[in-house]
C-alpha cells in the first residue's frame, strides 16, 4: 500500500457524484478508506480497522488523521456514507 495524503483523499471524495455511496461505517472492507484504496491503488479486499490496513497478509499503520476520520465515520450514525457526509467528517480531522 502506498501512503496517501489527506489532500489526495479529499480530492477523491470531491470527484464523486453527490449521491454516490462513498462507503459504509463500521465495515472493514467497505469503509471510505477501503473504497479509496480499492479504486485508486487496486487494493481490492483491503481491510481497514481502527489502526491499520490489512492487505495480502501485510499490515500497514494508519496515520493519525486517517484514524480520526474512521472514528468520525463510525460515529456518524448513517448506514451509507455519501460525499457530503465524508467531506463533513474529513473537515473535522
Domain ranges of the chain: 7-91
> What pLDDT, in 10s, does the model give residues 11-69?
999 999 999 999 999 999 999 999 999 999 999 889 999 899 999 999 999 999 999 99
Q: What secondary structure, in 3-state letters, does the chain show?
A: CCCCCHHHHHHHHHCCCCCCEEECCCCCCCCHHHHHHHHHCCCCCCEECCCEEEECCEEEECCHHHHHHHHHHHHCCCCCEEHHHHHHHHHCC
The pLDDT, as a whole number, for residue 41 is: 95
The pLDDT, as a whole number, for residue 16 is: 97
Amino acid at each position: 500500500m502506498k501512503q496517501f495524503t489527506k489532500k489526495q483523499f479529499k480530492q477523491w471524495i470531491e470527484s464523486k457524484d453527490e449521491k454516490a455511496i462513498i462507503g459504509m461505517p463500521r465495515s472493514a472492507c467497505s469503509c471510505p478508506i477501503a473504497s479509496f484504496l480499492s479504486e485508486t491503488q487496486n487494493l481490492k479486499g483491503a481491510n481497514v480497522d481502527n489502526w491499520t490496513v490489512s492487505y495480502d497478509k501485510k499490515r500497514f499503520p494508519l496515520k493519525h488523521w486517517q484514524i480520526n476520520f474512521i472514528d468520525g465515520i463510525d460515529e456518524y450514525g448513517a448506514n451509507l456514507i455519501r460525499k457530503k457526509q465524508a467531506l463533513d467528517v474529513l473537515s473535522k480531522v
